[in-house]
Amino acid sequence: MSLPELSREEISRYSRHLILDEVGMDGQRKLKGSSVLCIGTGGLGSPLLMYLAAAGVGRIGIVDFDLVDASNLQRQILHGTGTVGTPKVVSAKARVHDINPNVQVDVYEEALTSENALRILEPYDVVVDGTDNFPTRYLVNDACVILGKPNVYGSIFKFEGQASVFNLGDGPNYRDLYPEPPPPGLVPSCAEGGVLGILPGVIGCIQATETLKILLGKGSTLSGRLLLYDALEMRFRELKLRRDPDAEPITELIDYVQFCGVAQHEDAVPEATGPEPFERLSVQAIATRRSEGWAPYVLDVRKPHEAQIVAFDWADRLHPHEDVASIADELPRDRDILIHCKGGVRSAKACAALAERGFDRLYNLEGGITAWAKELDPSMPTY
């Protein structure tokens, strides 16, 4: 296939690449003739899309079904205050074209699924995984293996990131690293655990670097290596990654939500079977009961720094959910106990932990303080 020519404007735009031996005129034309699919336009996708666009990748596909939210802007620098509320793919496309109008942008405003993944991935040279959940990560991996496409991987949590290149040539893939996902609830999400805003910038830039190297055919990629980055300690570590000889061959796409669901893991952290030993109450139900005189003991199981952001002035005690059992002796057994957190997940765990210790008047605030703020008291901040 003959490579596209560069226009006079492009030669001027890419001059710092053109004078690099490792890129040069041939490399820049290669980039122009290449295509990359970026799945997710969030923290990882933000720097990645901006740098790939600036670098002159000819065609970029963007997959995202979400809208820009104000809480994205702390790290998703692709989007801005002016695009809050608009589809992320629309915001992303506008930003990419502002950086480099020479780039063809293909937009997929849909969730990646087992039904559409092969069709969406097929027309691209390289796939970049900038997703935020296990089902989509396994889906992207398996689709790349089936289609024979390199998958540039990056993942983040709080202050820590991982990066690698999967399925490049005979190289290992995500399932060689982790054959199975963790059971739900054992690994908190960024929405639950938080993330340093700059962290996805670092990892996304590493993904962008690896993508360009694959397209150019230059240097040594992270294929066969897992790079770990700890922002808090400012330390990079590198681990070997091999093909797992016991791995099942990947021949078709499966139901990834089920694969990552509870059903698969009989050895998961023990989940309650049968009826839950506590009652789940909506914010409306709680408001109604309180207006009728219900006065439960209220336990906030978030971290102290979260309570500094927003808290109920009618809460009795603040104690993090992880070791709520340690204060069991200090909680009333002759009163109803209403437990809440930010979104309702940690408080349900705390309810279960206290039920194990014989408490039987437990109520979980469904949706947490966030639901309360959104549905009943918009003057309360959300985070």
Partner 1 sequence: MAVTVHIPTPLRPYTGGSASVDVEGATVADALAALTTAHPELQKHLRDSKGRLRSFVNVYLGDEDIRFLDKEATPVSSGAELTIVPSIAGGAA
Query: Quick check: is 144 catalytic?
Result: no
Q: Is 382 in the site for partner 1 (CB under 8 A)?
A: no
Q: Is 131 in the site for partner 1 (CB under 8 A)?
A: yes
From 5-13, 187-195, 290-298, 328-336, span contacting partner 1 (CB under 8 A) = 187-195
| Binds partner 1 (CB under 8 A): choice among 114, 133, 282, 382 | 133
The residue behind tokens 């991982």 is: 162
Of the candidates 146, 113, 360, the residue with the CA atom closest to the CA atom of residue 251: 146
Report helix, strand or coil for 161.
strand
Q: Tell me, rounded to whole angstroms, the distance of Cα 9 from its chain centroid.
A: 37
Closest approach of partner 1 to the CB of residue 87, in Å: 14
The residue behind tokens 């992880």 is: 322
The residue behind tokens 């009163």 is: 335
| Binds partner 1 (CB under 8 A): choice among 22, 26, 322, 360 | 322
CA 131 to CA 144: how far, in whole Å? 14
Residues 6+ apart with CB under 8 A from 285: none
Q: Is 312 in the site for partner 1 (CB under 8 A)?
A: no
Report helix, strand or coil for 330.
helix
| Binds partner 1 (CB under 8 A): choice among 102, 113, 114, 162 | 162
Q: Which of 190, 205, 260, 351 is flagged as catalytic?
A: 190
Q: Is 269 in the site for partner 1 (CB under 8 A)?
A: yes
Q: Is 332 in the site for partner 1 (CB under 8 A)?
A: no
Please identify, using beta-carbon distances, which residue of 135 and 150 lies nearer to partner 1.
135
Pairing label, strands 225-230, 235-240: antiparallel
Please identify, using beta-carbon distances, which residue of 188 and 217 lies nearer to partner 1.
188
Pairing label, strands 151-157, 160-166: antiparallel
Q: Which of 38, 260, 341, 351 is flagged as catalytic?
A: 341
| Binds partner 1 (CB under 8 A): choice among 80, 97, 159, 333 | 159
Please identify, using beta-carbon distances, which residue of 51 and 363 lies nearer to partner 1.
51
Q: In the stretch 165-184, what mask flags binding to partner 1 with x, by CB under 8 A?
A: ------------xxxxxx--
Residue type, 383: Y
From 101-109, 263-271, 306-314, 366-374, span contacting partner 1 (CB under 8 A) = 263-271
Q: Is 224 in the site for partner 1 (CB under 8 A)?
A: no
CA 114 to CA 140: how far, in whole Å? 9
Q: In the stretch 231-250, what mask flags binding to partner 1 with x, by CB under 8 A?
A: -xx---xxxxxx-x------
Query: Quick check: is 205 catalytic?
Result: no
Q: Is 137 in the site for partner 1 (CB under 8 A)?
A: yes
Q: Tell me, rounded to whole angstroms, the distance of Cα 184 from its chain centroid.
A: 14
From 99-107, 129-137, 330-338, 374-382, span contacting partner 1 (CB under 8 A) = 129-137
Q: Is 193 in the site for partner 1 (CB under 8 A)?
A: yes
Residue type, 184: P
CA 346 to CA 365: how far, in whole Å? 10
Please identify, using beta-carbon distances, which residue of 65 and 314 lies nearer to partner 1.
65
Q: Tell me, rounded to whole angstroms, the distance of Cα 240 from its chain centroid.
A: 24
Q: Is 190 in the site for partner 1 (CB under 8 A)?
A: yes
Helices (H), the chain: 8-13, 15-18, 24-32, 45-55, 88-99, 117-121, 134-147, 174-177, 190-193, 199-216, 256-259, 283-291, 304-307, 345-356, 368-375
Q: Is 109 in the site for partner 1 (CB under 8 A)?
A: no
Within 39-98, the residues that bind partner 1 by CB under 8 A are 40-45, 64, 66
Phi, psi of 102 (to 5 degrees): -75, -15
CA 355 to CA 293: how far, in whole Å? 25
Closest approach of partner 1 to the CB of residue 114, in Å: 18
CA 376 to CA 378: how far, in whole Å? 6
Phi, psi of 339 (to 5 degrees): -115, 135
What residue ranges bind partner 1 (CB under 8 A)? 40-45, 64, 66, 129-134, 137, 154-160, 162, 177-182, 186-191, 193, 195, 200, 226, 228, 230, 232-233, 237-242, 244, 267-270, 322-323
Q: Which residues are identified as catalytic?
A: 190, 341
